[in-house]
Structure 1
Amino acid sequence: MSKSAHIAFIGLGQMGMPMALNLLKAGYDVVGFDLSSEALQALAERGGRIAASAVDAMSGSDVIITMLSNGKIVQSVLLEGDAFRQAPKSALLLEMSSSAPEETRSLAAKVSGHLRVVDAPVSGGVKRAVEGSLALMAGGSEADFEAAKPILGAMSAKIFHCGPVGTGHAMKAINNYVSGAGVIAAVEAVLLGRAFGLDEAKVVDVLNSSSGKNNATEVKMNQFILSGTFGSGFALGLMAKDIRTAANLSTSLGLSQPGLTQTADLWDDAARTLGGAVDHTRFYDYLKRQGD
C-alpha cells in the first residue's frame, strides 16, 4: 500500500491516537474520527484530517482502521446503514480492536465482496504504541496481509501473520490470558512474601533474576503497582474481556482448561469489584482485599 493511500482511523483513544500519529509520521494521509472532540482536535493539531462521523471518514478511504473497545461496536460502526460501502470497493479494513475471533469472522463474511479484511490487534501498551514498537498479530489472506504490511509496519516493530481472518484476534485473547495469569501469579507472590516478612521490592528483584520472571514482574510490579501509580494505560475491564474471550473460545472448541476458566473468573470478579475503568494493575488491590 503506497504512501498515497487515504487512511480512515476510527477510534483515537489511548492506543489509537499514538498509532494514528505514527501513520502521519510515516507520511500517510490520515483522516480520523472519535466521539471525543478533544481527540479530534489533538489529531488536527498534529497534521491529521478529521471527519464529522465514522461514515464521513470511510468515504473515499483506501484503508479503514478500527481501534475500538470491542467487536460489537466495530460491527455497529461498519454495518449500520451499510456504512462500510462508503469506502471504495476492495478497500482494506484493518480491524485492530480487541474483538472476539468469532465476531471478526462474522464481520468479514458480511463485508466480503466489498472490503478486504485483516484483523490485526496489538499488544504492548501505550508506551510501545507511542514508540511504534508494539507486537501485532494479524489474520487474513496472504495477499491482504502483504497489502497491509507497509501500514502495519508504521505502527508496529513486530508483525506476526497468524493465519486466516480471526486468528489475529484469537492470538490476542490467548496472549492476554497468559499476561493476566502472570499478573495473578506475580501479585500473589508479592503478597505471600510480604505476609512472611519479606520486602515486596526484594521479592520482585529476586523473581526478575530467577526463573519466576514474567511480564508482570518485569514491567508492571515496580513501575505501576509498588510505585502506587497504577498507570499502565490498559483498563481492568478490557483485560477481563480479553481473557473471557479466550475462555469462551476454549469452550467453543470443546476443551477443558480449568486454569483458563479460573483466571477468567478472577478477572471478571475483579472488574465487578473495582469497576472495569480502573487500570488493570489495580488487580493488586483486588487480591490484597481478599487476604485482608
Structure 2
Amino acid sequence: MQAHDKKISSVVHFIGVGAMGGPMAQRLHEGGHVVRVFDSNPQRVEAFSAQHGKQTELSLEQLGSDADYVVMILPNSGVVEEVLFGQNGLVSRLKKNAMIIDMTSGQPNMTLSMGQRLEALNILFIDAPVSGAVPRAQNGTLTIMTGGEAASVERAEPLLSLMGIVTRTGPLGSGHAMKALNNLVSCAGYLIGIEALIIGSKFGLDPTVMVDVLNSSTGMNNSTQKKFKQYVLSRKFDSGFPLHMMVKDIAIAMGLARNLGVPAPFGNLCLDLWSGAKGVLGPNVDHTEVARLSEQLAGWQIPKSNS
C-alpha cells in the first residue's frame, strides 16, 4: 500500500515518547493515524520526527489543540495532573468530544479525582496502563488494562488495539489498580526466585539447570521465563526498566491495600526489600539488579552462565 493510500482515521497527540511510548506512538502512526508527539526531552521528539517527518512534532502550546485523542504515558499521576490542569494545561484547548487516554502507571485514587474534574468539563477519560517490555511495544502485543465507561473504552479500543491486547478491567481507575497489582505479583516472584537461585547455587546446583527445572515445573513465572537467564545469569542486568519505576508501582499497590484496610504483610515486605534496593543500588539502575542486593545479604553471588 502506498503512503498516500493510508486511511487517516484520527488525530492523536501522544505525550511521552520514551523507551515504551516511542514505539507505541509509532504503532499508531503506522496504523494510519495522524500522530503528533511531545516529550519533556526534546531529543526524543527529534528522534521521532527524524523518522516520521517534522509534522509529527508538537509544541507545549499546541498540546490538545486539534486532537481527537490525547494519549499520555508519563512518569506518574502527578505529572499527568500537571499536564492536564496546571499552568497552560491542555484541557483548556481540547475540542468537543476529544478523549484523554492515560497509559501511565498511575495512582487509582488520583485517576478517579481527575476523572471527576474532566467529567465536569464534558471531557472523556479512560486509564489504560500497559504491561510488557520494549519488544512488545514495538510489535504491538502489549497487555493493555483499560478502565472507564464502557462506551468510552469501546470508542478507544480500535486505537488501543494497534498497540496491544485490550483487557477491560472495569470502571475508571481499575486499569491503574490492576497494573500496580500485576507488578506487585511480578516483583514478589522475582525476589523469591532469586533467593532460590542463591540457596541452590551455594548448595552446588547449576543455576542454569535450576531455571530449566523451574520453567518445566510449578515454580515457573515470568521472571524464571524471561529474566533469570537473560539478565541475571548473564550478569547483563539490562532489561530497560529502571528500579525506581518498579518501586513506584509496588508502592501504589500497597497504598491501595492500605486505603482498603487489607492486611498485606508479604506485599509490605516486598516493598521494603525493593525500596531498600533502590537506596543501596540507586534509583536508576535496571530493576533486575535487585538480585545484587539479595546476593549482598547472602554473601554469595549467583554464578554467571555462559549459555
Q: Measure the CA separation in 2 of the matches of 1:154 and 1:20.
A: 10
Correspondence for 1:148: 156
Correspondence for 2:181: 174
| Aligned-residue identity in percent | 39
Give matches, 1:17-96, under 5 Å: 17-47=22-52, 49-53=56-60, 55-81=61-87, 82-96=89-103
Correspondence for 1:194: 201
Deviation for aligned residue 1:37? 2.1
Q: Give the aligned residue type for 2:68.
A: D
Correspondence for 1:12: 17
Whichever of the two has the greater Rg, that structure is: 2
Q: Measure the CA separation in 1 of the matches of 2:28 and 2:284.
A: 28
Q: Work out the number of aligned pairs and report it.
A: 289
Q: Which runs of 5+ in 2 are unaligned?
A: 1-6, 300-307
Deviation for aligned residue 1:4? 2.5
Any idea what the Cα deviations from partners look like across 1:173-204, whole Å, max 9, x if unmatched?
01000000011011111111111111111111
* Conserved? CA contact 2:103–2:129, under 8 Å: yes
- Which of 113, 124, 138 does residue 130 from structure 1 map onto? 138
Note if 1:272 corresponds to 2:279. Answer: yes
Q: Measure the CA separation in 2 of the matches of 1:83 and 1:29.
A: 18
* Conserved? CA contact 1:9–1:57, under 8 Å: no
Q: Measure the CA separation in 1 of the matches of 2:96 and 2:141.
A: 31
Q: Measure the CA separation in 2 of the matches of 1:45 and 1:201.
A: 42
Q: Measure the CA separation in 2 of the matches of 1:91 and 1:83.
A: 11
Q: Give the aligned residue type for 2:23.
A: P
- The 3-state SS of whatever aligns with 1:38 is helix
Note if 1:209 corresponds to 2:216. Answer: yes
Correspondence for 1:97: 104
Q: TM-score, normalised by structure 2?
A: 0.91
Q: Measure the CA separation in 2 of the matches of 1:223 and 1:177.
A: 21
Q: Measure the CA separation in 2 of the matches of 1:114 and 1:278.
A: 41
Q: Give the aligned residue type for 1:148.
A: A
Q: Measure the CA separation in 2 of the matches of 1:9 and 1:57.
A: 9
Q: TM-score, normalised by structure 1?
A: 0.96
Range 82-91 or range 181-190, more displaced:
82-91
Deviation for aligned residue 1:222? 0.4
Q: Which runs of 5+ in 1 are unaligned?
A: none
* Conserved? CA contact 1:220–1:281, under 8 Å: yes
* Structure 1 segments of 4+ aligned residues over 3 angstroms from their partners: none
Q: Measure the CA separation in 2 of the matches of 1:282 and 1:127.
A: 20
